[in-house]
Structure 1
Amino acid sequence: MSVKKIEIMDTTLRDGEQTSSVSFSASEKLTIAILLLEELKVDRIEIASARVSEGEFQAVKEITNWAAEHDYLDKVEVLSFVDNGISINWMVEAGAKVQNLLTKGSLNHLTHQLKKTSSQHFKEISEVIKLGQDKGVVTNVYLEDWSNGMRNSKAYVYEFLDFLATQPIKRIMLPDTLGVLTPEESYAFVKEIKDTYPNLHFDFHGHNDYDLGVANVMSALQAGADGLHLTINGMGERAGNAPMSSTIAVINDFMPELTTGVNEKMLYTVCKLVENFSGVVIPSNKPIIGANVFTQTAGIHADGDNKNNLYFSDLMPERFGRKRQYALGKSSGKANIQKNLQQLGLQLNDEDLKKVTQRIIELGDKKQVVTKEDLPYIISDVLDRTYEEKIKINSYVLTHSKGLKPSTTVSLTIEEETFEENAQGDGQFDAFMNAIRSVFKRKGTILPDLIDYAVRIPPGSRSDALCETIITWKYPEKEFKTRGLDSDQTVSAIKATEKMLNIVVN
């Protein structure tokens, strides 16, 4: 079976930049352009619209200077307009050599926006193509609103294509400008055109207004499209364009008769960089590149992965430079925990694993997902409990008000006898300790001195991370440490103190 190579043109820096509130700096554009061509290995990049601004001109100039030095200039394209050569002059001055000429692909646009006849429009287009040719500029042609043109003015579209077939152009580009096509229409329209003009090169440019961008791309390819226009993270106007990551995965997995030169392994890296530069956050459930898409949460899935990879598919994270993760929460079981322990190089016996599982379930009721980085803290917290629990802190109220001394009211049970105490202190935890000391003073028990108090959270965690408090206690004859774990720092210190009290009375 012969395999057809599909040209991939990335338009993140032009069409993708039309995402609301997104504007890349010149240095960001150059960085993205280099990554797209050298690392992701797309065939072409559309980097700007001609005549937009002086800043855009400088950005194009930086990219074309770099592209000329590295033999990529024929892969760098700029959107131009039917404007008597003004766009071409702008491009040539900026160093660009390929124009993507924006023309009208529907009679509705031609009549109501340009207010011209088809012959007038075609004549002006041919003049621009000739001007470009004279200045060494290669021309591709966009048929703006082509999808509605095929629906409502097909005769005009074919008149236009008959004209373009006589012109010295390289590609004809078919945009679903408003994102209105269905997969069935995408297939029918592209096939009809490709059957009529088998020797012309046609690109399909899909938008995602009905969330059909990838499906329409797949249909267009099945119908014979020669190239695709895609954007990183599906960026673009309104609901965005067909996304690079999902489209490449679909081609590689479901269309063996087609191939692209795109380097799958770099998709995630490039997507994350564009996320950072654009400020547009990738949804956590976005296929291929979302934070959660390679995370198993249900324990039964992790168990199945242990038993012949029952929940694996062709979408293996390693393909995209990522790793499978196993979430820790109230719906995870021992299998999830074992997977995370393996990644950390840790082992637990069955009894300890059961204790850790129960603790994670308890934490999951308060904190939806526990991270792998939290796991060592949870293990140390659980396995630290080598005593009989004779003391239980039942409840407490911690108050902190500006201008007033912090105070605590605490209730605790000591061997089935309940005590309640109130105290003030220099801080909430100090007030808590003063209340506890008052209770034990009445019991005739001297508590150890607190000589060190350390708080830490897992590296890279957020403000809702689990917090481990390690307190060092000292009697005249010995020192010992206790740990507390909670998403609240003061509560984690109280839990460490509860452990100390149980050690003291055992």
Structure 2
Amino acid sequence: MGKRKIEIMDTTLRDGEQTSGVSFSAAEKLTIAQLLLEELQVDRIEIASARVSEGEFEGVKGIMSWAEAKGYADKIEVLTFVDKGLSIEWMKKSGAKVQNLLTKGSLNHLTHQLKKTPEQHFAEIGEAIALANENGIATNVYLEDWSNGMRNSSEYVHQYLDFISTQGVKRILLPDTLGVLIPSETFQFISEITQKHPNIHFDFHAHNDYDLSVANVMEALKAGVHGLHVTVNGMGERAGNAPLASTVAVINDFMPEIEIGVKETSLFSVSKLVETFTGYRIPANKPIVGDNVFTQTAGIHADGDNKNNLYFNDLLPERFGRKRKYALGKTSGKANIEKNLQELGLQLNQEDLKLVTQRIIELGDKKETVTKEDLPYIISDVLDSHTYQEKITVESYLLSHAKGMRPSTTICLKIDGQIIEEHAQGDGQFDAFMNALTKIYKTKKMTLPKLTDYAVRIPPGSSSDALCETIITWVNDGKEFKTRGLDSDQTVAAIIATQKMLNVIAV
């Protein structure tokens, strides 16, 4: 027995746009529509609501013009209303060919919002469908508030389904409009409907108010539903809709009897593009598409991955066009660092690896984010420390910078076991530090090298502000040398570089 083919209908451009603060331009809608159908290869897309605005109209016209040329016209759907032909007129002018007619799926909505009897509502729906047929427009129907309809007025829902099954509609769309269903109800309600109407195509449209949308999708499929409505990044009103990426992964991994055509490897790139267009940020821990979901932080996990991928599951990042990362921070441990070094093509002996690990843990304790790009800088800093013996240390310092006052620094220096404290002002905090240091060296009748160059950089490609490398060039007795300092603070990095210089000249 072959697999059961399920249609995936993406409604990011219609229902997803109801996310608070989100509005796509016509050009953005066209780009997303093209990616959904050609790159992700979803079966259908719902792109707009009829009669909403001039911008919406122009957006639909643009998409339909492209879709007609590509042969996709029957894959593009628009939400319409029972409005005595106004929506159909709008559809004709825009070029749209499939309407998703919004009708009442609960007696509560029908009675209190429309204030009509079922018979009155059915008659108007029949007229809207007939008018669409006359104008070459195919019809799917939404049963708005269907989930509450099944809970509180199932007789009305079945009366409606008996009527609509005679109207020649293409699909019946069952929305959990208010996101109230639990999985067991989803299975029960859809089983009841699909068994009674085995020849009708039913779609399920889940909302995520209780974070149950994907669980409800699974139960709807088990109950025999034929299509699913999803959005990129789970966008939508309130808590959003069933997310496309999670839905696809769950079906592919746990429902082998079901076939879908969505291309997994494009999920992440389309997700990021939609994030960019909307400004609606994807949570870092959102399954499949979140920034952190393929990042191992704990060192024991990286160690296990080194020893036979012990902490892998079926959600391999490569499936979604992504790569596994190993976070660097206070919990990372040597194994995480080794994984990152492997990617950079670097190797360290165990002693140096231990020192680098310690440095990363120190940065992690400061709540700094350390990236793979920072690693060469940390290694350089740690290995550089091998080149001299630490005889002189900056024990403590106080840097102050206040409006209307010259920057000043108080430092406490330890030279051969002796603590010396000094205070000075300068043109900047580091200049004040150097002035205080000069005072100390004068009292010891010692001279300092001349500072000839001061450069600051962050690791190229690093999106983190965790590390800043300060490189200072000194001239001592006619010989030039450089020292480096590494810290999240530029001035502190310069002080570290200066302490290294003091030890180099003390040799």
In the alignment, what sits opposite 1:228? 228
Alignment deviations for residues 69-117 of structure 1 (CA, whole Å, 9 cap, x no partner):
1111111110000001100110110111010000000000111111111
Residue equivalent to 1:502: 503
Q: 1:170-211: per-residue Cα shift (whole Å, max 9, x none)?
A: 100000000000000000111110011111000000000000
> What is the CA–CA distance in structure 2 between the aligned matches of 1:245 and 1:108, rounded to whole Å?
34
Distance, in Å, in 2 between the alignment partners of 1:109 and 1:292 is: 42
Structure 1 equivalent of residue 417 of structure 2: 416
What residue in structure 2 maps to residue 290 of structure 1?
290
Alignment of 1:419-430 (within 5 A): 419-430=420-431
Q: Which amino acid aligns with 1:242?
A: A
The residue aligned with 2:210 is 210
Name 1:458's counterpart in structure 2: 459
Residue of structure 2 in register with 1:434 after alignment: 435
Counterpart of 2:41?
Answer: 41
Shift of 1:368: 4.2
Counterpart for residue 196 of structure 2:
196
Runs of 4+ in structure 1 off by over 4 angstroms are none
Deviation (angstroms), 1:461: 3.8
Q: Distance in 1 between matches of 2:23 and 2:134?
A: 33
Alignment of 1:339-358 (within 5 A): 339-358=339-358
Aligned positions of 1:129-278 closer than 5 A: 129-278=129-278
2:444 corresponds to which residue?
443
The alignment's TM-score, normalised by the length of structure 2, stands at 0.99
Offset of residue 444 of structure 1: 1.9
* Aligned amino acid, residue 80 of structure 1: T
CA contact (8 A) 1:395 1:411 kept: yes
Q: Which moved more, 1:93-102 or 1:398-407?
A: 398-407
Counterpart of 1:269, as a letter, is S
Q: How many percent of aligned residue pairs carry the same amino acid?
A: 73
Conservation of the 8 A alpha-carbon contact between 2:7 and 2:43: yes
What are the superposed Cα offsets for residues 37-60 of structure 1, whole Å, 9 maximum, x if unpaired? 110111111000000001111111
Match of 1:95 in 2: 95
Distance 1:338 1:126 in 2: 68
Whether contact under 8 Å (1:179, 1:206) holds in the other structure is yes
Code of the aligned partner of 2:457: R
CA shift, 1:458, in A, is 2.1
Matched residues in 1 for 2:477 and 2:419: separation? 29
Render the CA deviation track for 1:225-279: whole Å, top value 9, x for unaligned. 1000000110000110010010100000000000111010011111111111111
Residue 442 of structure 1 and its aligned partner are, at CA, apart by 1.6
* Counterpart Cα distance in 2 of 1:256 and 1:463: 41
1:310-368 Cα offsets, whole Å, 9 max, x none, are: 00000000000100000011111111000000011111111111110111111111134
Q: Give the partner amino acid of 1:263.
A: K
In 2, Cα distance between equivalents of 1:426 and 1:462:
31
| Whole-angstrom CA distance in 2 between matches of 1:99 and 1:191 | 26
Residue 331 (structure 2) pairs with residue 334 (structure 1): no
Matched, 1:58 2:19: no
Q: Is the 8 A contact 1:46 1:76 kept in 2?
A: yes
Q: For 1:409, what is the secondary structure of its paired residue?
A: strand
CA contact (8 A) 1:356 1:378 kept: yes
Aligned partners of 2:371 and 2:464 also within 8 Å? no
Whole-Å Cα distance in 2 between the matches of residues 407 and 339 of structure 1? 44
Q: In the alignment, does 2:288 pair up with 1:299? A: no
Question: Does the aligned pair in 2 maintain the 1:473–1:480 contact within 8 Å?
Answer: yes
In structure 1, the residue matched to 2:487 is 486
Mapped partners of 2:368, 2:217: distance in 1: 37
What is the one-letter code of the residue matched to 1:378? I
CA distance in 1, matches of 2:268, 2:206: 21
Specify the SS of the correspondent of 1:83: coil
Out of 244-253 and 64-73, give the one that drifted further: 64-73
Partner of 2:33, secondary structure, is helix
What value does the CA root-mean-square deviation take over the aligned residues? 1.0
Which residue identity lines up with residue 46 of structure 2 in the other structure? Answer: E
Amino acid of the structure 2 residue aligned with 1:276: T
**What is the total number of aligned residue pairs between the two structures?**
506
Distance 2:143 2:439 in 1: 83
- For the residue of structure 1 that corresponds to 2:328, the secondary structure is coil
Does the CA contact (< 8 Å) of 1:187 and 1:223 recur in 2? yes
CA contact (8 A) 1:106 1:157 kept: yes
2:80 partner letter: S
Structure 1 residue aligned with 2:31: 31
1:405 — aligned with what?
Answer: 406
2:363 corresponds to: 363
1:333 and 1:421 map into 2 onto residues whose CA distance is 39
Q: Secondary structure at the residue paired with 1:384?
A: helix
| Shift, 1:463, TM fit | 6.6
Q: TM-score, normalised by structure 1?
A: 0.99
1:12 and 1:275 map into 2 onto residues whose CA distance is 12
> Over residues 144-194 of structure 1, what are the superposed CA-to-partner deviations in whole Å (9 max), with x where a residue is unaligned?
000000001111100110111111211000000000000000001111100
Structure 1 residue 462, shift from structure 2 partner: 4.7
Asked whether the equivalents of residues 337 and 357 of structure 2 are also in contact (C-alpha less than 8 Å), the reply is yes
Contact 2:178 2:207 in 1 (8 A): yes
Contact in 2 for aligned 1:233/1:244 (Cα 8 Å): yes
Q: Which amino acid aligns with 1:324?
A: R
Residue 191 to residue 119, structure 1, CA distance change in 2 (3 Å):
same
Q: CA deviation at 1:369?
A: 3.0
2: CA distance, partners of 1:465 / 1:23? 35
- Structure 1: tracts of 5 or more residues without a match: none
Q: Counterpart of 2:179 in 1: which secondary structure?
A: coil
Distance 1:459 1:166 in 2: 65
Q: Distance between the aligned counterparts of 1:431 and 1:196, measured in 2? A: 85
3-state SS of 2:309 partner: coil
- Given residue 114 of structure 1, which amino acid in structure 2 is its aligned partner? L
What is the rounded CA distance, in whole Å, between the counterparts of 1:465 and 1:27 in structure 2?
Answer: 38
CA distance in 1, matches of 2:415, 2:333: 34
